[in-house]
């Protein structure tokens, strides 16, 4: 990273960890913590969808992995007594394993067919949650305890959320930290040898295979990482809500994960993060239009796709090109 990028990153950290809490404390709008926490976790899930776009595949099934991750964490915490902090990576790993089993056959399909298959995954996950006894059917899993203390060698790293005056502050800090780590990992992947190989798949898979690139391996690996992000996001959502239901993530959520990437910019690592913030708050802002909310929202999205096909972040390129 150059000095300009580091300065911008430092400013972002100060904003989310210092200025935002100060603003919320001054206004007394503690409900903002839940809103910003949700946005941060949606951005984590969208990061995974962006990675599948990066290898030239359209992923409309991230909601399925968020649902699976939420149930894995909830079951382990409530029925096996496992610490939430341990279930967080386990939820991601289970989703990664499931995605490998699914991805091995369907990632061989052309992009449009892969997209069609992923479109049904969320509904399959929902119906599975309804049918299995361990998920408690339509009743879901409720009364999930708040995260306990996280300590290493007797040193408390994160206090028990139940001991906090306002657990929402703890969830906000945790979600934002997870979002930052996720996008740093994503940035590192893109700027590594692995990322360069993945980019070659996006441009021409046949040419990549002809020069010895293991295209099948790369596709499955990228899809597994994508699903891992979806799983940990879902696990945190379940912990925040202290419940998980088959309807917690539906097909519309999977579509939204994809829209976040389009809006922010498919050519930019941090595009899904910006797209999530804009789309989430834009939808809330349009609530003043009442019954016309969906119509205006759809119109604005179509207009943005036409005017800015490379996403909002492409405005930065145009600005730099105009200098």
What pTM was estimated for this model as a whole? Answer: 0.92
pLDDT at position 307: 87
Give me the pLDDT at residue 318, please.
60
pLDDT confidence of residue 51: 95
Phi, psi for residue 306 in degrees, rounded to 5:
-75, -45
Whether the CB-CB separation of 103 and 114 falls below 8 Å is answered with: no
| Separation CA 196–CA 201 (nearest Å) | 9
Element (H, E) at 236: helix 215-241
pLDDT of residue 242: 95
Q: How far is it, in rounded angstroms, from Cα 150 to Cα 166?
A: 17
Whether 33 contacts 24, CB under 8 Å: yes
pLDDT tens by residue, the chain, 323 residues: 667 778 888 999 999 999 999 999 899 888 899 999 999 999 999 999 999 999 888 899 999 999 999 999 999 999 999 999 999 999 999 999 999 999 888 887 766 778 888 889 999 999 999 999 999 999 999 999 999 998 888 788 888 998 888 899 999 999 999 999 999 999 999 999 888 888 887 777 777 777 777 888 888 999 999 999 999 999 999 999 999 999 999 999 999 999 999 999 988 999 999 999 999 988 888 888 888 888 888 888 888 888 888 888 888 776 555 55
**What was the pLDDT predicted at 287?**
80
Contacts of 49 (CB under 8 A, 6+ apart): 59, 62, 226, 257, 258, 260, 261, 272
Domain boundaries along the sequence of the chain = 17-321
Nearest Cα neighbor of 122 from 258, 265, 269 is 258
Model pLDDT, residue 217: 87
Q: How many CB atoms lie within 10 A of CB 216?
A: 14
């Amino acid at each position: 990273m150059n000095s300009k990028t580091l300065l911008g990153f430092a400013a972002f950290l100060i904003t989310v960890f210092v200025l935002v809490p100060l603003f919320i404390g001054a206004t007394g709008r503690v409900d903002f913590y839940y809103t910003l926490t949700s946005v941060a976790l949606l951005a984590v899930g969208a990061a995974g969808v962006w990675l599948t776009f990066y290898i030239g595949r359209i992923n409309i099934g991230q909601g399925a992995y968020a649902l699976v991750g939420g149930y894995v964490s909830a079951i382990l915490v409530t029925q096996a007594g496992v610490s939430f902090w341990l279930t967080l990576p386990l939820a991601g790993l289970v989703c990664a394993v499931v995605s490998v089993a699914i991805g091995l056959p369907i990632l061989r399909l052309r992009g449009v067919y892969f997209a069609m298959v992923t479109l049904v995954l969320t509904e399959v996950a929902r119906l599975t949650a309804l049918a299995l006894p361990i998920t408690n059917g339509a009743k879901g899993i409720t009364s999930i305890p708040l995260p306990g203390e996280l300590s290493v060698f007797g040193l408390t790293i994160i206090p028990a959320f139940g001991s906090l005056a306002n657990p929402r502050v703890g969830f906000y800090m945790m979600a934002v930290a997870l979002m930052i780590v996720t996008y740093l990992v994503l940035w590192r992947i893109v700027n590594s040898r692995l990322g360069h190989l993945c980019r070659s798949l996006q441009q021409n898979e046949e040419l990549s295979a002809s020069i010895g690139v293991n295209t099948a391996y790369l596709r499955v690996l990228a899809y597994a990482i994508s699903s891992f992000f979806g799983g940990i996001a879902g696990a945190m959502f379940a912990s925040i809500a202290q419940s998980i239901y088959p309807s917690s993530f539906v097909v519309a959520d999977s579509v939204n994960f994809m829209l976040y990437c389009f809006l922010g910019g498919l050519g930019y690592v941090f595009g899904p993060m910006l797209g999530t913030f804009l789309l989430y708050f834009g939808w809330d802002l349009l609530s003043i239009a009442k019954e016309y909310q969906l119509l205006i929202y759809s119109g604005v999205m179509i207009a943005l796709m036409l005017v800015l096909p490379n996403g909002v972040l492409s405005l930065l390129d145009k600005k730099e090109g105009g200098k």
